[in-house]
Structure 1
């Protein structure tokens, strides 16, 4: 699928027809037209097709919507919102590999903390965060304001404060979005409205950080669930769920029948602006750039990728899939979307946090898109039997997509690692390893160039090491079973991993946060060599938001946020010093209340570490 560029006034110039020849559309057995075999590129296979017209696209939304509406509205009457998943890591820039038992090496994770200071998933792919740095400049979002600091002196000094508003002049709430990227002297700020339905994309010029200027502010109907930076190109993944309609509710003897009929009539009266992301009430994506899944069991809604260069923020390109999914993974040259069944619940209060249960249907469709400049082009699709917990259950390297899947109605009661490759326009299974953690749940996955570390849990914590050097024949190398579990794994060089998670009793009852140090020198025999157990009823922040973990390789120190309490919350920085296979811990109390989620520890080019709390920026003594 190719893309369409538009300005904030939604003046469309469609490139889809130019890509395949004017008037050509791919289709399936439902009567959609199919281009001649000589069409320059294939836009879709049987899994993903383009509607022949805007009317047909709207009909596809309405037909599926009618199947999901009842006397109480959508499903049980609760509007569906999805939670963004995330897990991230950073590795030592001096690390060269993880030693295999046979004596060869496996390269460490490609993840790292890039120059912006954020703990990211892929080296070369930055992610939005509440804090960014560039040399002596530190930017942070707080309560809907962009604050710029000079961190070159003895103490950080505030340079400017810029209020970020949506296109209607309403302020943004920092804990419901308020994340940013820093690109070529410009900040791109993403803010989500309190109801989670609108996203404002604001571009701020920082040529003079003492007096920033807002270049553009565009409010899009849709919730940002992921934001990535490839070179100078910002990509925003927007979710547009089921339309908010004025549904009726049963009343009286025949109330359910009347309510259902009226609710179905409301669905029939919807327009494309109700189903697609919109700007000023008009769809922000062209009908010919929306791919419709053949699988009608996937969650109904729209997932859209908006791409632009902040140097020209009003010129954007879009591509979309007619399903609502927050399980989106970006490599350096691919975007993968895992489409699951409906997930009923509330959205999370930060982008890319691990909250939801992942895909919920028995089989998970996968859609692959190639990334080239501002273009996001559909290339292939396939499916895996099982559930995908979050974006960190997926990884791509060397043309191979690797996926960790949990059990579903279509699998046995175990977890698996599956490799897939692109074969024409299809993602086909290349190899697999099954029977990982029978009757257990995947808690964390860490991918390396040709290795996967998978942690599952029910009563004990099995840690599995899987050789992926031959994608067609992955194999289990070794496993370790210990109490508790790691929800976030981080490589610490050639032979060590640290896991942040929960301590647990032998019968599976959790007790409090823990940090576990693993020796993976011999992958046939991984070992836990030390553990730090925190107080009861504590939580490791990295378990849901790995941006609260920082590894300082030169000092051999890990900094991570640990919190405790519900009605009154206290947050500490746990300073974990590593020495010869052991850890010592020092706890520094830094924050309280909901601001604990905003705590970041950011390495600076000067060698200092900035501590960002809810109200302050200071230097942290390691």
Structure 2
């Protein structure tokens, strides 16, 4: 291949699988149950506040109605991360795919892999990026630029500013031409942590020029934690969630009504600034501060007053980040799903804590709110519509926009312990004015189980549920008013990530299990889905006791369609597999040395990512980068993270 040529995309397999719709049978699923198991679906929209005084009145009222003796529902500072508690919502997901030619005519380098993005045209931040000319990664708080041709570090930039605790923070990247946007969470300083039991951290963005010696052009800091980000065209959009800055008394004395009243008194004294995040941005020696304005804040029909979502927009061709042109919603979300033209924010609706703290809302309280924004044009996104569905999302792969509709897969109910009552469904929504309204639903999936993975391929969907065995459901969504299950495959274990392959096949990465549902180690399954009525497993690779980052983070998954190479971080190293037409075989393993690893253990440094430039496989860990011959797993070079 010549310089600037990308390797083949997996898009061909998407098209092939989408064509299955024409040959699908229309086997009817089990009769749909009426949606009485969940809370009534009240359409949500967004309304602007008339003034800051009006905003303060409504935010105080909503927060007062929502607060309980232990604060707001799902407060991580009190009860742990709500994301983990609801089954991994918001977890993020590297495939081998070539991006289209750079529209600006920039040299895009040798053939190379790209981040395993959910949708084409919406790049996702990751721990390492490459454009074929350079590899950019941040480990230990230091950004390094590696020349893949010479196997040398050509640039280095310390991003910690002398704060040692930031060397432990994860840094993620977006790459556009000669610009890198670095995203990280700034942890609360000790003084902030003492003042409040709530999270007091911030999102930090750093704009780096990669020409020659890497140079920090500017920074942006805003109160709140990063939900996720997407790069469409030249515009990076970052979604940030900020809890209302309300310091409630420690709930150590008094009855529940007394505790609740104390918390309401705190809300009554709060100013509107408690809900409007502050930000600061720099450009060279310049420093600017500001706060999201009341004119940039909207509210849904129903709100809790517990948090604010802010979407920031940055032009990565500029030499400065600016103020981010913020758009804010008095709502909550933990999942971002993006396409080339739309951005969706979704999250489970918070519920008041009225008694003993619970890790999970009841089935009737499980409602996911969804907000859609138009991102087709550069700059600030435009709100389009909002809607609600029963249940909760496993991650962004539970959402899919296709042919003017949004498909949403959720689980509702309890699924732990004996007497489990739960089921899953896929709903189809369409935009009607400012509301996402339901057009069809197929439910009753995996009763007594929960969703572990979802993959939409045009009009086709595949859903994996699990408790003791793993049903792989095939669904036909071609008619948005009448989605149906066309086939089902039951095997032991489950797939936590599904990836499309050429030849109408799927690759599943997850865990093997016995008949009682006890997990038995990493398994990779090759599925034949040519017949939507009879999905089948062609082969299985099993590593007893093993696990992989790709089970929970699809960015860790690498697939090269021209050779069938699959690279999976397994335990501390990377296992290289080759997927044929109907077989899976192992090539070997790539590991990294202990040198320069802070948290040294008997397992060695964990290799987090794999990528390909030309015909060389690169693996990345905290210790450094290794170049490997993918056909034999033979090491070609080692670059220590010094």
Give the TM-score, by structure 1 length: 0.78
Residue-by-residue CA offset, 1:45-92 (whole Å, 9 max, x unaligned): 863222221122223332233334455555698177554623546376
Query: In structure 1, the residue corresponding to 2:55 is in which secondary structure?
Result: helix
CA distance in 2, matches of 1:358, 1:575: 43
Query: In structure 2, the residue corresponding to 1:267 is in which secondary structure?
Result: helix
CA distance in 1, matches of 2:300, 2:132: 45
Residue-by-residue CA offset, 1:566-601 (whole Å, 9 max, x unaligned): xxxxx1211111234111124425257598565211
Query: In structure 1, the residue corresponding to 2:622 is in which secondary structure?
Result: coil
1:499·1:515 contact (CA, 8 Å) conserved in 2? yes
**Which is further off, 189-198 or 217-226?**
189-198
- Structure 1 residue 213 corresponds to structure 2 residue 210: no
Query: In structure 1, the residue corresponding to 2:365 is in which secondary structure?
Result: coil
Residue-by-residue CA offset, 1:333-387 (whole Å, 9 max, x unaligned): 1112223133999xxxxxxxxx999999333222211112112111112222222
Equivalence for 2:412? 407
Equivalence for 2:13? none
Equivalence for 1:363? 367
2:170·2:185 contact (CA, 8 Å) conserved in 1? yes
Residue-by-residue CA offset, 1:530-560 (whole Å, 9 max, x unaligned): 1111122x21211111111100111111111
Equivalence for 2:179? 186
Query: In structure 2, the residue corresponding to 1:539 is in which secondary structure?
Result: coil
- Structure 2: runs of 5+ lacking an equivalent: 1-42, 84-88, 100-110, 189-198, 281-287, 354-358, 415-420, 593-599, 631-642
Q: Would the alpha carbon gap of residues 360 and 331 (structure 1) be closer, same or farther in structure 2, given more than 3 Å must change?
A: farther
Q: Would the alpha carbon gap of residues 170 and 385 (structure 1) be closer, same or farther in structure 2, given more than 3 Å must change?
A: same
Residue-by-residue CA offset, 1:159-205 (whole Å, 9 max, x unaligned): 12211147xx7467355331111112111111111346211111011
Query: In structure 2, the residue corresponding to 1:406 is in which secondary structure?
Result: strand
2:363·2:413 contact (CA, 8 Å) conserved in 1? no
- Structure 1 residue 378 corresponds to structure 2 residue 380: no
CA distance in 2, matches of 1:467, 1:60: 43
CA distance in 1, matches of 2:125, 2:363: 23
Per-residue deviation, 1:150:
1.0
Task: Choose which of 314, 317, 328 in structure 2 pairs with 1:308.
Answer: 314
Q: Would the alpha carbon gap of residues 152 and 259 (structure 1) be closer, same or farther in structure 2, given more than 3 Å must change?
A: same
2:228·2:335 contact (CA, 8 Å) conserved in 1? no
Residue-by-residue CA offset, 1:235-273 (whole Å, 9 max, x unaligned): 11101024251624445xx68777655443332232333
Alignment of 1:102-501 (within 5 A): 117-153=114-150, 156-165=151-160, 170=163, 173=166, 175-195=168-188, 197-208=201-212, 211-243=213-245, 245=247, 247-251=249-253, 260-280=260-280, 284-296=291-303, 300-312=306-318, 313-342=321-350, 361-371=365-375, 372-408=377-413, 413-501=422-510
**Which is further off, 542-551 or 362-371?**
362-371
2:394·2:453 contact (CA, 8 Å) conserved in 1? no
CA distance in 2, matches of 1:615, 1:179: 17
Per-residue deviation, 1:207:
1.9
Per-residue deviation, 1:287:
1.3
Q: Would the alpha carbon gap of residues 174 and 87 (structure 1) be closer, same or farther in structure 2, given more than 3 Å must change?
A: same
1:406·1:441 contact (CA, 8 Å) conserved in 2? yes
1:358·1:387 contact (CA, 8 Å) conserved in 2? no
How many equivalent residue pairs? Answer: 530
1:466·1:475 contact (CA, 8 Å) conserved in 2? yes
Equivalence for 1:20? none
Q: Would the alpha carbon gap of residues 338 and 67 (structure 1) be closer, same or farther in structure 2, given more than 3 Å must change?
A: same
Per-residue deviation, 1:621:
2.3
CA distance in 2, matches of 1:619, 1:584: 22
CA distance in 1, matches of 2:486, 2:473: 8
- Structure 1: runs of 5+ lacking an equivalent: 1-44, 95-113, 346-354, 564-570
1:79·1:242 contact (CA, 8 Å) conserved in 2? no
1:359·1:387 contact (CA, 8 Å) conserved in 2? no
CA distance in 1, matches of 2:361, 2:556: 21
Equivalence for 1:14? none
CA distance in 2, matches of 1:245, 1:378: 31
**Which is further off, 413-422 or 309-318?**
309-318
- Structure 1 residue 52 corresponds to structure 2 residue 55: no
2:136·2:145 contact (CA, 8 Å) conserved in 1? yes
**Which is further off, 227-236 or 79-88?**
79-88
Equivalence for 1:40? none
CA distance in 1, matches of 2:50, 2:172: 38
Query: In structure 2, the residue corresponding to 1:581 is in which secondary structure?
Result: coil
CA distance in 2, matches of 1:159, 1:315: 31
Equivalence for 1:515? 524
1:146·1:161 contact (CA, 8 Å) conserved in 2? yes
- Structure 1 residue 615 corresponds to structure 2 residue 615: no
Per-residue deviation, 1:229:
0.4
Residue-by-residue CA offset, 1:442-484 (whole Å, 9 max, x unaligned): 0000111111011111111000111122222222111100000
**Which is further off, 181-190 or 587-596?**
587-596
1:71·1:257 contact (CA, 8 Å) conserved in 2? yes
1:361·1:408 contact (CA, 8 Å) conserved in 2? no
Q: Would the alpha carbon gap of residues 450 and 90 (structure 1) be closer, same or farther in structure 2, given more than 3 Å must change?
A: farther
**Which is further off, 115-124 or 547-556?**
115-124
2:246·2:266 contact (CA, 8 Å) conserved in 1? no
